Each structure stands twice: as structure tokens, then as C-alpha cells.
Amino acid sequence: MIFRMFLPITFASTIAASVVFGEGLGDAGKGTKIFSKCKSCHRIGNGAINRVGPHLNGIFGRKAGTIVGFAYSKSMVRAGVDGLVWTAETLDAYLENPKSLVSKTRMNFRGLKNPQARADLLAFLRGYSDEPINIPEAEPTATKTDLKIDPAILTIKGDPEYGEYLSGECKTCHQSGGEDDGIPAITKWPEEDFAIAMHAYKQKLRQHPVMQMMAGRLSDEEIAALAAYFKDHE
Amino acid sequence: MKMNRRSFIGTVTAATATLSAPMVMGSGKPRVVIVGGGAGGATAARYIAKDSKGGIEVTLIEPSRAYYTCFFSNLYIGGLRDINSISHSYGTLATNGVNVVHDWAIGVDRAAKTVSLAGGGTVPYDKLILSPGIDFVEGAVEGWDTSAQNAMPHAYKAGSQTELLKAQIMAMPQGGTFAMVAPPNPFRCPPGPYERVSMVAHLLKANNATAKIIVADPKPKFSKMSLFQEGWAEHYEGMIDWIGEDFGGGNVSVDPAAMTVTIDGEVTKVDACNVIPAMKAGHIAHLAGVTDGNWAPVNSADMSTKADPDVYVLGDSSQQGDMPKSGFSANSQAKVCANAVRGALTGSKVFPAKFSNTCWSLIEINDGVKVGATYQATPEKIAKVDGFISKAGETAEVRKATYEESVGWYTGITADMFG
């Protein structure tokens, strides 16, 4: 599976990303070229309009899912309502693996695994936000809450039996049949996506008070166990 | 008339009791008997049957054939749900390995390990799980007893009582008065009375805008108080008069025949009145001899009672520590208990107890708030670990998302209970 192959790189890069932020956002010139990957759906610059994706002017500091008139996924709107704001840190996480941050985003993009490429792209995007000079190179939270997902954590093999027991707590709200009825579905996620999402709540990168609380007390083994269980959940 | 759980369906259950004689036991499998088919009992039955894969004989004793959830019953009062949408049957549980016996449990012989039924006969158990919800403390509100529940409904066990209360509110004259007598702590669903006040106000605002709401409350404060009061001021200005302990809200008596409520000596004629008395564990918990005072003390690791390691008490009836009495809590406790009971009977792996709760309340359409916490088992009690509460002044879209989340939760938990 392609996704699995990418994994070790993904997590290694997550850690590297915070280092990059610490040193600056990257090379905007190189970012211009990387933006060609985005151009089929997104416009940026003078008079940019929404296309398949929303325009990206002023993306820094914008609340997710809030351009009036653009038909966002329910997931994206919910993420915004829950408090997701686009910053260097959140954009970096989103670009790395869109679905790990916003489960059912319509952005059909596998993710940019190379941390330097993301840093370059962010430097390019930053030029189209208001007063880019005022956008800190590194958000205070980005340095404070450095994503500290040790790659080893993501290689933990979860115990699905323990996961099944723990899942009882999830199923009070999330329907085991996988329906999305006001609360998102969590079944049949790739194990890695599930684990990253839970770690993102645990580190308060994903914004939802209930989920931050629930994930906050799960150990790495317990997150792996849940991921292992829900992966095959019928 | 003696008050007991779901007394209003008494005639139905009497008729069906004889049809549902106890199951023939004797398969040699370990036997779990569960009394009460609400958020605690139905969940425990479902999880034990599901996870033991036929290795444990599971019997659920529940008099009513249709279970009306207390949670979301306020939304029925507010006109946001019809009564059928909060009604659930036991059909799916029955086809998934749970013997559902529609009868009243009227006694527990802990020495013989049997439960006796109103319809005759006894059901033997190896482990007994009691999840009988609440009963009311007699004499808790001067002038009110259960014989007055038609004139002044409690509507705190959902179903016909809820429908009756709503009908009485709808029949109020223009400019009339609705009164609520709120209960002292601890009681089922701490934000429940105040969500109800909100939903009554919502109903009256549309049909009877000059009507008044009086709440006599023996407590100085209540769950999510600042959020409710902010919402009442915003949506129902001047309609709701909450009289707390400081203003004599605890010094209250009612006269159901005259339809008056007396608060701190002042008599008020009312047009509809909701009396929610002080509460205690469901009757069968007292009959089983596992209560101490009003509630049944339990061990936090598995919900077994302090009185008997083979008798467990879930949900509202239990005295466990920091968790509120809520459907969410009962569901959470049931899963911990199911895991422990299965382990004790079949040797399956027992995992550490983890508990959680979230209570959503609706103040006005699309204005939802929530409070929640996680809990762990300590030697003394179930202890709070971490929590959160909605903030005052949240945007309309946050409140709308919170409400939508509660709707999703309702679908989720009822599926988790009943399959």
C-alpha cells in the first residue's frame, strides 16, 4: 500500500517540520514551483476566485471553512467551528496529510511528505496574506507544542481486543455502523490516519474539547489499540 | 399507589407478564441477570451477550416493551421531537442473544442467588446487575405524593408522564403560570430541570408569550447555571423567575387539588406544575439490600456493590463518587461492568476501568451547551480526571454545532444501548 510505504517518512518529517519552523518558513521562490501541484484547484493572487478549491489569499489567520459562498465539506466547516485556524503549524499538518487533520475534507490531495517542500510552499502562500511581515515565522504554539510524535509510537502494534474494549467509550457518541449524523464516523480509517488524528487531539492541534479530553488520557498503546480495532470494524 | 419505575405502563406489563415466564435455565453456562433496561441495563446486556459470543446466558428483566429515554424528553416538551422518536424497543437485543423478560423484578434472594418476578417464578443468577434508575423520596415535597402525579406530573421517568406535562402546559390559559419544583442534590440529570425550563419557555414563547415560569429550587446553584441564565436572559427575557435557596426556594409546598404552590410562605395559583421530588435508588436496589441510605455504594473498579460482590449496581441508583447521574454515565459504567463480569465468569481479559460523561443541554433552538469529564477508578471512588464546559458568549455557530453534536450523540448512544 502506497500509504503505508510513506508512513515512516511522514512521521520522521513531522518532527523535522517543527525544526524547520524554528529556523524560518522556507524558500518562497521554490514554493512557487511547488504551488503548481495546487493550481489545478486553487487560485492565489490579485483577483483570485474560488475554483474547485477556495482561493488562498489571506489564508494565514483565517478560520477554516469560512469563505462565504464556497461549498466546503461538512468536515471542514466543523473543523472551523471547533476552532481550526490556518497558521504555519496547522497548514503544515494539513498539507502533510489533509485527511488526518480534517477527516472528510474534499481536498483530494495525498499530502506533501517532504517537510522542506511544505516549508517552501508555506513561504510562498504567506506572501499572499495581509501584512505578511506581521505573520510570525513560527507561531508561539508551534514551538511550544512541537509535535512530538516519536516515529516509534506509530509503529506500535495495537491490541485490537483492548481496542474493542476501549472503543466502548467512543461508541457512546460515534455510531458503530459508521453513519455520520452530527458526529463524524470513525470506522475503517487507515490505522495511521486514526493514530495521527488522535495524537493531534491529544496535543491540542485538532480543536474539539470533548475529543481533546478523551484523547488526552489515552496512552500511545491505547491509541494504537483503538486504531487497530477501528481499522477493520464492521 | 406505590410509586415505582414506569408505573404508567403498569397495565401493559401486567397483561404481558404472564406471557413472558422466566426462561428455562440449565444450559450449564454462567448466568447474568440484569434488572432494568435503560442506559445502564440495556448496554450491559448488549455488551455481555455480544462479547461473550453465547458463552454467557444473559437475561434482561424489564417491564416495559417500549423504553422512552429521559434524555431528549425535554426536546419533546419543546416541540423539537415527537414522542416516538425517543421510544425504543428491545427487539434487536432479543434477537442478539439477550433473553428479554417483560416483567417486574419484585425481590432478590442473595443467598439463593435468585430474582423473583411479579408474574411468578424466579430467575437464578451467577452475577446480578441492577440498573433500576430512580425512585422518589416519599414526603420530599410537602403536599405531593405519587397519587398526585396526574395533577402535578414529575415527568422525570419519560413516557406518559412527559406527554401529560406537555399537554398541561399547552392547555394553560394565556398569561398563565407554570411552576417547577426542582429537586435537591443528588438527582438524575443535573442540567435536566433547567433544560426543561428552557424548553417550556420555548414552547410558551410560541403559544403563550405572556405566560410566566416560576422555579422553586432548594439549591443555591445548579449545573451550567451561568450558561442557562445567560440564555434565559437572551431568549426568554422576563419570562423565567428562578427562586433559589437564598430566596426561600427550598421552603416549598404544593396543593395539587387547589393547584397552588407556596414558596417561602407566598401562595401562588398555578396552571401547570412540574414537581420533581428528591430521589433515591430504584426500589429493587433497596429490596436487594444493597443500599445504604438512598443509594447503593459500589466499588469503582467494576461497579460491584459494597454489600455483595455478585451484585452490581449501575447508573442513577449507584453511589460511585464524582460522576453525575446521567444516561451517558450509566452507559459508560455498564461497559466497564460488562467487561469485569465477563472476565469473572469466563476468564476473559479484564481491562482497567475508564469512565466518561458528557451532558448536552438545549437552551433554545440551535443554542446547545455541554459539560463533560473523564473519570478513573480509585480505591475510594470514581474520581474526576479532567473536564470541560461550554463558555458563556460562544458564537451562534458553535452553539448550533453543539446542538447538532447532541443529536448525533443521541443516535449513537441509543444504538449502543439497544443495538
Residues A207 and A186: their CA atoms lie apart, in Å, by 16
The answer on pLDDT for A142 being more than 50 is no
- CA-based nearest distance B237→chain A, Å: 28
Domain presence at residue B375: yes
Domain shared by B95 and B128, yes or no: yes
Task: Write the ipTM.
Answer: 0.82
Chain A residues in contact with B373 by the CB 8 A cut-off are 213
Q: Between B372, B385, B397, which is nearest A217 by CB?
A: B385
Helix (H, G, I), strand (E, B) or coil at B413: helix
Q: Using the 3D structure, point to which of B277, B309, B334 is the last residue of a domain.
A: B277
Closest CA in chain A for residue B40: A172
A217, B354: Cβ pair inside 8 Å? yes
B354, A183: Cβ pair inside 8 Å? no
Closest CA in chain A for residue B327: A172
Domain shared by B228 and B309, yes or no: no
**Residue A78 sits at the chain B interface (C-beta within 8 Å):** yes
Closest CA in chain B for residue A163: B351
Q: Walk along chain B (419 residues) in steps of 10 and give the mean pLDDT of each run.
A: 42 40 62 98 98 97 97 98 97 97 98 97 98 97 97 97 98 98 98 98 97 98 96 96 95 98 97 98 98 98 98 98 98 98 97 96 98 96 96 94 95 96
Domain shared by B315 and B257, yes or no: no
A217, B415: Cβ pair inside 8 Å? no
Place of cell 473498579: B301
Domain shared by B11 and B34, yes or no: yes
pLDDT value at residue B167? 98
User: Whole-angstrom distance between the N-terminal and C-terminal Cα of chain A?
Assistant: 21
- CA-based nearest distance A173→chain B, Å: 4
The answer on pLDDT for A97 being more than 80 is yes
Domain shared by B292 and B213, yes or no: no
C-alpha cell read off for B158? 419519560
User: Whole-angstrom distance between the N-terminal and C-terminal Cα of chain B?
Assistant: 35
For residue B338, the number of C-alpha atoms closer than 13 Å in the C-beta half-sphere is 30
Domain presence at residue B311: yes
Residues A225 and A163: their CA atoms lie apart, in Å, by 4
- Least-confidence region, from A33-47, A178-192, B316-330: A178-192
Q: Residue B191 maps to which CATH number? A: 3.50.50.60
Angle between helices B396-418 and A160-171 (to 10 degrees): 120
The b/e string for B179-193 (b: 16+ C-beta within 10 A; e otherwise) is bbbbbbebbbbbbbb
Scan residues 193-212 of A and list those with Cβ closer than 8 Å to B. Answer: 209-210, 212
Domain presence at residue B155: no
The model's pLDDT over A5-16, given as tens digits with 9 standing for 90+, comes to 333 333 333 433
Q: Using the 3D structure, point to which of B259, B277, B295 is the last residue of a domain.
A: B277
Q: Using the 3D structure, point to which of B277, B308, B335 is the last residue of a domain.
A: B277
Domain shared by B191 and B103, yes or no: no
A173, B358: Cβ pair inside 8 Å? yes
Place of cell 506572501: A127
Domain presence at residue B149: no
CB of B296 closer than 8 Å to CB of B130: yes
pLDDT value at residue B123? 98
Mean pLDDT of chain A: 80
pLDDT value at residue A24? 57
The model's pLDDT over A188-202, given as tens digits with 9 standing for 90+, comes to 887 888 888 899 899
- 8-state DSSP, B144: -
Angle of CA points B300, B406, B381, to nearest 5°: 10
Q: Between A81, A162, A172, which is nearest B412 by CB?
A: A172
Domain shared by B376 and B341, yes or no: yes
Domain presence at residue B156: no
What is the rounded average pLDDT of the residues A141-161? 69
| Domains within chain A, CATH numbers bracketed | 2-144 (1.10.760.10), 151-231 (1.10.760.10)
Q: 3-state DSSP helix/strand/coil percent for chain A, to nearest 5?
A: 50, 0, 45
The answer on pLDDT for A57 being more than 50 is yes
Chain B residues in contact with A82 by the CB 8 A cut-off are 401
- Least-confidence region, from A168-182, A216-230, B232-246: A168-182
C-alpha cell read off for A155? 509503529
What is the percent of chain A with per-residue pLDDT over 90, rounded to a whole number? 32
Domain presence at residue B154: no
Q: Between A81, A162, A173, which is nearest B412 by CB?
A: A173
Residues A128 and A131: their CA atoms lie apart, in Å, by 9
pLDDT value at residue B26? 54
Spatial neighbors of A20 by CB under 8 A, at least 6 apart, are A26, A115, A116, A118, A119
pLDDT value at residue A193? 80
| Residue-level length of chain B | 419
A182, B411: Cβ pair inside 8 Å? yes
pLDDT value at residue A52? 86
**Residue A172 sits at the chain B interface (C-beta within 8 Å):** yes
Q: Between A172, A179, A217, which is nearest B413 by CB?
A: A172
Domain shared by B96 and B24, yes or no: yes
Closest CA in chain B for residue A78: B401
Residues B103 and B34: their CA atoms lie apart, in Å, by 12
Q: Between A165, A181, A183, which is nearest B351 by CB?
A: A165
Chain A residues in contact with B397 by the CB 8 A cut-off are 81
Q: Between A165, A177, A183, which is nearest B405 by CB?
A: A183
Residues A66 and A80: their CA atoms lie apart, in Å, by 7
B406, A78: Cβ pair inside 8 Å? no
Domain shared by B293 and B265, yes or no: no
Q: Give the residue, A65 or A3, on which the prediction is more confident.
A: A65
Chain B residues in contact with A176 by the CB 8 A cut-off are 415-416
Q: Dihedrals φ, ψ of B387, to 5°?
A: -160, 175
Closest CA in chain A for residue B409: A173
Domain shared by B315 and B259, yes or no: no
- CA-based nearest distance B367→chain A, Å: 14
Q: Could you list the residue range(s) of the whole structural domain that residue B208 is in? A: 163-277
Place of cell 497548514: A91
The residue among B303, B342, B371 whose CA lies nearest residue B129 is B303
A175, B349: Cβ pair inside 8 Å? no
Domain presence at residue B1: no
Q: Between A81, A166, A209, which is nearest B388 by CB?
A: A209
- CA-based nearest distance B285→chain A, Å: 26
**Residue A217 sits at the chain B interface (C-beta within 8 Å):** yes
Domain presence at residue B152: no
Domain shared by B188 and B93, yes or no: no
How many domains, in total, are found in chain B? 2
Domain shared by B84 and B28, yes or no: yes
pLDDT value at residue A179? 81
